[in-house]
């Protein structure tokens, strides 16, 4: 069986370094907010090109607490509208509603699955105060155009970079485009911890300080509480493990991009709609770190069954769009045909840094043998 993502094999590559890092933490006697978190925050800020990084317990908290910090800073108020792609993973939307803000679900660009500047412009009202620019599946959203719109309309931009560690345009990476960015280090993400972990990045020192306080009981100073915060901290163990894995991230991304190019060139079945063209070159792909390689197939169930019979595991990202979830019953009357079509047709093929060339060829052959 070709697994969708072989996490065990991925972490096995760095086993000794991970064990050494874990041992260092165990032996240090210091387990929360110590040297490892500080060092990882510095390393990851440098990696993204941002001046500040704040470790958090997970990616959702990074998004929630950044929006909350803007409220505490007087930049957002309950009821403000926040633009978000309708086809995102539900966490992007949860971060908005958790703060009493109003998500405005916008149809994506059909080809990139990301926000489309024209559709964003059309969704702006006098109440719009922010947007969550999701870099879905690992591809940077059209940030130049989105930032120009934001500047024109004085909107705050929060990148949801949970799937896009290292994705760049003109050498500028996810985490350094918006006014702030949330990252997840959930084990299956491109930079994955061995448990839950997350971070936010920003070039705004006041925002960084506010988010840090919010994630530490609202305390900026021991036993003094500015805000009614909560406890959402990156812990020392995960930070130490992430420092090891960050050193290998670019090499792993390169492998993902090579697999994507191989798929784009090798899969020629017209029933399988590819996310990139067959002429895509590695250099042109800096903007996409291929957290997922998502194809569209009309008879999705049959296609998945065909691949399963060929010993290939696939997943769906995502089967139900946020506005059709029970959690968002209030939005169920929205008509979002493009989003709904995407959700009914997408299939994610296996992609990961430990896939072998033979496995990649096996996936290509199985896709080409599919007859509908
Ligand atoms: C994974 C993910 C999140 C949430 O991150 P967690 O660390 O799982 O809380 C948010 N947004 C997107 C797009 C994600 O893929």
Task: Tell me how far apart the alpha carbons of residues 157 and 163 are, in angstroms, rounded to a whole number.
Answer: 17
pTM: 0.98
> For residue 184, which atom of ligand 1 is closest to its CA?
7
What pLDDT was estimated at residue 138? 98
Please tell me what DSSP assigns to residue 137: G
Task: Tell me how far apart the alpha carbons of residues 50 and 204 are, in angstroms, rounded to a whole number.
Answer: 9
**Cβ-contact 206, 4 below 8 angstroms:** no
Angle between helices 300-309 and 357-369 in degrees, nearest 10: 130
What pLDDT was estimated at residue 278? 86
Nearest CA to ligand 1 atom 12: 162
Backbone angles phi, psi at 239, to 5 degrees: -60, -40
Burial (0-12, 13-18, 19+ Cβ within 10 Å), 159: buried
**Cβ-contact 212, 69 below 8 angstroms:** no
Pocket-testing residue among 133, 135, 163, ligand 1, by greatest number of atoms within 8 A of Cβ: 163
Distance 59 CA to ligand 1 centre (A): 5
**Cβ-contact 69, 210 below 8 angstroms:** yes
Distance 189 CA to ligand 1 centre (A): 9
CA atoms within 13 A on the CB side of 213: 22
Distance 137 CA to ligand 1 centre (A): 11
Distance 334 CA to ligand 1 centre (A): 24
Beta-strand ranges (E) seen in 174-288 are 180-184, 198-202, 219-221, 224-225
Residues with CB under 6 A from ligand 1: 58-60, 88-89, 91-92, 134, 160, 162-163, 184, 186, 196, 198
- In three-state secondary structure terms, 348 is strand
Nearest CA to ligand 1 atom 7: 59
Task: Per-residue pLDDT tens, the chain, 372 aa: give them.
Answer: 999 999 999 999 999 999 999 999 999 999 999 999 999 999 999 999 999 999 999 999 999 999 999 999 999 999 999 999 999 999 999 999 999 999 999 999 999 999 999 999 999 999 999 999 999 999 999 999 999 999 999 999 999 999 999 999 999 999 999 999 999 999 999 999 999 999 999 999 999 999 999 999 999 988 999 999 999 999 999 999 999 999 999 999 999 999 999 999 999 999 999 999 888 887 778 999 999 999 999 999 999 999 999 999 999 999 999 999 999 999 999 999 999 999 999 999 999 999 999 999 999 999 999 998
What pLDDT was estimated at residue 370? 98
Task: Tell me how far apart the alpha carbons of residues 159 and 214 are, in angstroms, rounded to a whole number.
Answer: 19
> For residue 60, which atom of ligand 1 is closest to its CA?
9
Backbone angles phi, psi at 86, to 5 degrees: -70, -20
Question: In sequence order, what are the residues at sequence separation of 6 or more whose Cβ sits closer than 8 angstroms to the Cβ of residue 233?
Answer: 32, 33, 37, 55, 56, 57, 215, 216
Backbone angles phi, psi at 129, to 5 degrees: -125, -10
Task: Tell me how far apart the alpha carbons of residues 56 and 53 are, in angstroms, rounded to a whole number.
Answer: 10
Peptide bond before 33: cis, by omega within 30 degrees of 0? no
What pLDDT was estimated at residue 282? 77
């Amino acid at each position: 069986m070709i697994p969708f993502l072989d996490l065990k094999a991925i972490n096995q590559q760095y086993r000794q370094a991970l064990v050494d890092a874990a041992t260092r933490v165990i032996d240090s006697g210091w387990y929360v907010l110590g040297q490892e978190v500080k060092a990882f925050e510095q390393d990851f800020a440098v990696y993204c090109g941002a001046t500040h990084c704040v470790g958090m317990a997970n990616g959702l908290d990074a998004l929630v607490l950044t929006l909350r910090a803007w409220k505490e800073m007087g930049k957002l108020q309950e009821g403000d509208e926040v633009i978000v792609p309708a086809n995102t993973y539900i966490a992007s939307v949860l971060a908005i509603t958790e703060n009493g803000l109003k998500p405005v679900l916008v149809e994506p660009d059909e080809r990139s699955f990301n926000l489309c500047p024209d559709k964003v412009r059309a969704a702006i009202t006098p109440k719009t105060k922010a947007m969550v620019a999701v870099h879905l599946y690992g591809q940077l959203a059209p940030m130049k155009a989105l930032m120009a719109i934001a500047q024109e309309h004085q909107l705050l931009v929060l990148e949801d970079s949970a799937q896009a560690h290292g994705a760049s345009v003109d050498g500028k990476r996810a985490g350094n485009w918006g006014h702030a960015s949330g990252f997840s280090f959930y084990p299956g993400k491109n930079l994955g911890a061995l448990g839950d972990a997350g971070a936010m990045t920003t070039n705004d020192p006041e925002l960084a300080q506010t988010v840090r306080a919010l994630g530490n009981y609202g305390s900026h100073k021991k036993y003094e509480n500015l805000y009614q915060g909560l406890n959402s901290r990156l812990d020392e163990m995960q930070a130490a493990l992430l420092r090891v894995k960050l050193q290998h991230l670019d090499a792993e991304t390169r492998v993902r991009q090579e697999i994507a190019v191989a798929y784009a060139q090798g899969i020629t079945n017209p029933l399988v709609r590819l996310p990139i063209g067959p002429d895509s070159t590695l250099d042109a792909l800096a903007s996409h770190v291929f957290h997922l390689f998502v194809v569209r197939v009309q008879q999705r169930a049959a296609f998945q069954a065909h691949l399963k019979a060929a010993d290939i595991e696939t997943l769906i990202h995502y089967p139900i769009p946020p506005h059709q979830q029970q959690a968002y019953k209030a939005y169920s009357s929205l008509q979002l045909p493009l989003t709904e079509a995407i959700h009914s047709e997408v299939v994610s093929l296996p992609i990961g840094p430990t896939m072998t060339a033979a496995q990649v060829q096996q996936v290509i052959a199985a896709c080409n043998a599919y007859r509908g």
